[in-house]
Structure 1
Amino acid sequence: MKVMRVTVKIQGRVQAVGFRHFTLKTALRLGLTGWVRNLPDGGVEAVAEGTREQLDEWLAVLQEGPPASRVEGMSIHRQPADGSFDRFEVRF
């Protein structure tokens, strides 16, 4: 199966609500590699590599977010994977 990369920026109430941990946990469950971090503007950015099916499921779950969050917008950029990640992690 072809591996792809997705960069996603999420806006809304997504900081101080467990969103990074939720993103990490979901990525690990789906077998994705990459990272997630908070942005200075109050959003969250994540980059993940996996199959189209894995990434589509991940994005659908992120759209919902954890219970305390409120996702108001997501920008998604798809590109070819380069295999530069060996795990999924939270970056600071």
Structure 2
Amino acid sequence: MVRQKAVFAGKVQKVGFRLEISCIAQRMKLTGWVRNLEDGSVEAELQGEELHIDFLVKCMQSLKRASVNQLTITDLPTIEGEDSFTIEK
């Protein structure tokens, strides 16, 4: 089990990007959260199996209605007891 922060930049707001991340995260049994940043990027903290996080990131990079032109991934310490995935405003 790992926790990673992913910041997606490009055309990632107003295209259903956060909802798509949330849907995939829940299907992959990931926990964490996703939110829009003021600079137009989207930030997510994802916790779970590393292969599942990798799958989610690849899905988001290939999303047709969005365009990810920069991705930053940072490893974080895991959070014990986290049991859901949320979309933050």
Show the counterpart of 2:9: 11
CA distance in 1, matches of 2:4, 2:73: 7
Per-residue CA shift, 1:40-91, capped at 9, x if unaligned? 00000000100111111111112223x3211111000123312252101100
SS in structure 2 of the partner of residue 35 of structure 1: strand
Give structure 2 stretches of 5+ with no counterpart: none
Give structure 1 stretches of 5+ with no counterpart: none
What TM-score results when the alignment is normalised by the length of structure 2?
0.92
Q: CA RMSD in A?
A: 1.2
Question: What is the number of equivalent residue pairs in this alignment?
Answer: 89
49 and 14 in structure 1: CA distance in 2 versus 1, 3 angstrom threshold: same
2:54 corresponds to 1:90: no
Q: Which runs of 4+ in 1 moved over 6 A?
A: none
SS in structure 1 of the partner of residue 53 of structure 2: helix
Identity %: 35
